[in-house]
Structure 1
C-alpha cells in the first residue's frame, strides 16, 4: 500500500531551484533514507513533507490527502524531528509534552507513557535547558511521537550524538513501532542500517533509488558513492 506519493515536486527560492521534478512513492511501513551532498535538496524535500514549506509546483499525498489542500489533516498524520528542538525552556519536560497534547487533543496521561518510552520519565520535572544534547533530542522525539503519527520525518537525527546515544535512539525507534519513516542523514552507515531504501539526491533531483536490502555489500556501495561525490568516509 502506498502511504506517501510525491509527484513532480519543485521548489524555487527566487532564481535558485532547490529541487526540480522530484517524484517517489513510499509504501506503508517503509523506512526511506534521503542521502546526498550538501545542497542536494534533502532538507527541502523533508520540510515540504512536514508542511513547513510550500512547494512551487508539484503535489504530495499522505494517506490519500493532498498536502496543500488538507494541511491540518496531514499534520495529524506526521511527526517531525528537526534541527530545531521545538521545546520551550521554562516549562518542564512533562509540561512541554502536555502543551503538545492539548494542541492535538491527546489524552494527557499519554505524556508519561511517552516519557517512559524515551527514558525520561524520572526527568519529567526538569527544565529541558538543563538536559544534555542527547536528552533534548530524546524529548523532541517524544514530542514528535506523542500523537502516534503514521509517518515520522527525521532531519539529521544522529547529529551531535555520541555512539551510545545513537544506539539508544535506534532502540527507541524500534520500540515505538512507527512503521513509515523518512530520514535525512549524513551518517551513511547508520542510515543504511536503519533504512530499507535510499533515495540519492544530486543537484535537486533523485539520481538513484536503491533497495538497500538487495545490496550484497552495503559498505562497498557507501564507499563507492562517497568517493564519487567527494565525501570522506563516515
Structure 2
C-alpha cells in the first residue's frame, strides 16, 4: 500500500480542516484529489509529506507512519507544492545540483531528470528566465531527483497555457508509469485525462471515492427535449425511470433518467401518445465537473 489514511482529522483552533478521513492508494495508481477551496486538500498533502501533524488518526506512506519516521517518509516522496518554491537567480543545473546534495544522490541523476522532464533545451538558463511551464518542469525534476516511489503534486497545472498544460499532463502520465501519483487540481479535464480514480473532499470530509470508470458508469442520463407546446412536468415525470424534470425555458425540458439505457425512443413514444411534436432531442451525460458541483454544493 503506497498511501494509507485512517480516521485522520486536523483541527486549527475551532476549524476542522479534515474530519475523520479514511482512504487507501495502491502502488502504481494515479489518483485525483478534488475539492473546492478550503476543503482540506492542501492540509492532507502537507500531512502526508510530514509538513504537518494530524490532530487525530494515522497516515502511512509505503507502510511508514508519517509522524514516527518522518525522514524515511520524506525519502520515499517527491513533492511539488502548489506554489513551486524556486530560486529564480539560480541556473537550472545549479538548482538541481543543490537539491541533489540535500538528497545525497549522484550528480548523474541530474542529467537523467533533465532529460526525463524535457528540460534539456532550457537547462543552461537561470530559472527566472523560464516560462511558467518550464518552471513547473524544474519543480517536477526536483521532486524526481531521489527517484521516489510516491509523487504528491498540489495543483501542478495551475496557471499554465493550453500547450504547457498538455506538456505537463503528458509528463506526469509518463513518470507515473512506475510510480504512485496523488495529485490535486481544479481542472476536471486534467483528472479525466490523467487519473484512473477520483477522491472528492468537501468541508474536510470525503464525499466520493471511486474509479473514474465507475463514476462515469454511475452517471445519470439527461435528455434535452423541445416539444411544440408546454407540457406539465408532472406528466413527464410519469415516464418510466424518470428521476427529475426541469423546464429549462419555453418548451425545452431536461429529463434525467436513472438508467443508462438510451431513453430517446421512450421520449418519442411519449410524444406520440400525447399528440406532441419533438423539435429538438439531445442525449447528454453529466460530466465530472457537474458531479463535482453536485457533491460540493453544500
Aligned-partner Cα distance in 2 for 1:178–1:187: 24
Aligned-partner Cα distance in 2 for 1:183–1:77: 16
Aligned-partner Cα distance in 2 for 1:227–1:12: 25
Aligned-partner Cα distance in 2 for 1:100–1:86: 12
Deviations 1:17-37 (A, max 9, x none): 101111100001111111122
Aligned-partner Cα distance in 2 for 1:226–1:109: 43
Which residue does the alignment assign to 2:153? 154
Aligned-partner Cα distance in 2 for 1:80–1:221: 29
After superposition, the CA RMSD in angstroms is 1.8
Aligned-partner Cα distance in 1 for 2:174–2:19: 36
Aligned-partner Cα distance in 2 for 1:143–1:197: 26
- Tell me, what secondary structure is at the counterpart of 1:46? helix
How far is 1:125 from its partner?
Answer: 2.5
Q: Would you say 1:104 and 2:170 are equivalent positions?
A: no
How far is 1:163 from its partner?
Answer: 1.3
1:192–1:198: 8 Å Cα contact kept in structure 2? Answer: no
Deviations 1:92-131 (A, max 9, x none): 1001111111111111011112112222123222110111
Larger RCO: Structure 1 or Structure 2 (Cα < 8 Å, ≥ 6 residues apart)?
A: 1
- Tell me, what secondary structure is at the counterpart of 1:32? strand
Which residue does the alignment assign to 1:213? 213
Q: Would you say 1:196 and 2:196 are equivalent positions?
A: yes
2:35–2:202: 8 Å Cα contact kept in structure 1? Answer: yes
1:41–1:202: 8 Å Cα contact kept in structure 2? Answer: yes
Aligned-partner Cα distance in 1 for 2:95–2:58: 33
Q: TM-score, normalised by structure 2?
A: 0.73
Q: TM-score, normalised by structure 1?
A: 0.92
- Tell me, what secondary structure is at the counterpart of 2:23? strand
After superposition, the Cα gap between the structure-2 partners of 1:88 and 1:217, relative to the gap in structure 1 and judged at 3 Å, is same
Taking the TM superposition and a 5 Å limit, the aligned residue runs for 1:120-159 are 120-159=119-158
Which residue does the alignment assign to 1:179? 179
Comparing 164-173 and 137-146, the one that deviates more: 164-173
Gapped regions of structure 1 (runs ≥ 5): none
1:35–1:42: 8 Å Cα contact kept in structure 2? Answer: yes
Deviations 1:32-77 (A, max 9, x none): 1111222111111111111121111111111111111110000000
After superposition, the Cα gap between the structure-2 partners of 1:5 and 1:16, relative to the gap in structure 1 and judged at 3 Å, is same
Aligned-partner Cα distance in 2 for 1:3–1:82: 19
Aligned length: 230
1:35–1:184: 8 Å Cα contact kept in structure 2? Answer: yes
Gapped regions of structure 2 (runs ≥ 5): 220-284
Which residue does the alignment assign to 2:255? none
How far is 1:224 from its partner?
Answer: 3.2
Aligned-partner Cα distance in 2 for 1:217–1:120: 41
Comparing 67-76 and 108-117, the one that deviates more: 108-117
